[in-house]
Structure 1
Amino acid sequence: MTPRSRTNQLLYQAELLLELRAGDDEHGDSRRMALEEGALALAELALVSLLREVTEHALLEHHDWRELLGSGGAGIAELQRLRELVTRPDSWLAWLVARLEALHDSDGVARRASSAAQGLIAVGSGAALADELRWCLGEAKAEIAALRETSEEW
């Protein structure tokens, strides 16, 4: 399988997980959290695959996203483009990197459904992790198409 095919496969699999329903029984919340974190883990694998794909011509030894998207990463145009996205708080990549860091933290990233006390108004993001991840994957796929064009020019 080519890096391009693997990237596509991982993105598709992440989207498939997000389409599964957790159910309404006593384990439903735990299943939903597992599906969300599983899809996020697949998104991380897709990011690594994408980095491998767009840096193939550079023959890099490592493709860890923290290393390549960090300030000390290789000076490749596609990586610079992604580094700029990470610094924009409203970008899909900034959102993804923040969630991946939380995923690797001992608390994880998925949260139980909050049962706000009666009479209180919940403040904050009402979007579920799955919905935000769907948005992120959609934005990523659009960016990936542009990155592939640039990479193919090499």
Structure 2
Amino acid sequence: MSPRARTNQLLYQAELILDIAPGKDEHAEARRMASEEAALALTELALESLLREVTEHARLERHDWRELLGPEGAGVAELHRLRELASHPESWLGWLLQRFEALHDSAGVARRRNPSQPGLIAVGSGAALGDELRACLREAKQEIASLRETSEEW
């Protein structure tokens, strides 16, 4: 499978997981949280696949997002563009990288909903992690199309 096909597959699978209904039993909340974290983990894999894809021409040995998007990352135009995007916490990539860090933390990233106010999440914004991730994936796909264009020019 090509890096491009793998990136597409992982993004699609992340969206599929977000669409799984958590149900209405006593495990629904845990199931929702598991789906959100699973989709986020697949999105992290998709980012690494994307990095492999858009840097194929540079023949890099490693494709860890922490390395490539960090200050010491390779001087590839696509990576520079992504580093710039990552430096803005309100961007789709800045938002994702914050959530990836939380995903790897012992507390995780998914949160239980506040039982006293079912429409609110106890920590963070009023939007559910899954909804925020869906919006982020939509924005990411637009950027990915543009990155692929510039990468293909090489």
3-state SS in 2 of match to 1:112? coil
| Offset, 1:64 | 0.2
Whose relative contact order is higher, 1 or 2, with alpha carbons under 8 Å and at least 6 apart? Answer: 1
Length-normalised TM-score, structure 1: 0.94
Distance in 2 between the 1:123 and 1:151 partners? 39
AA aligned opposite 2:148:
R
Distance in 1 between the 2:78 and 2:42 partners? 21
Structure 1 gaps of 5+ residues are: none
Verify: 1:56 aligned to 2:50, yes or no. Answer: no
Distance in 2 between the 1:29 and 1:76 partners? 42
2:32 matched residue in structure 1: 32
Distance in 1 between the 2:123 and 2:4 partners? 41
AA aligned opposite 2:138:
G
2:7 matched residue in structure 1: 7
3-state SS in 1 of match to 2:38? helix
Length-normalised TM-score, structure 2: 0.94
After superposing on structure 2, the runs of 4+ consecutive aligned residues of structure 1 that deviate more than 2 Å are none
| Offset, 1:124 | 5.2
Distance in 2 between the 1:89 and 1:64 partners? 20
Number of residue pairs matched?
150
Structure 2 gaps of 5+ residues are: none
AA aligned opposite 1:77:
A
Q: Where do residues 3-152 of structure 1 align in structure 2 (5 Å cutoff)?
A: 3-116=3-116, 125-152=125-152
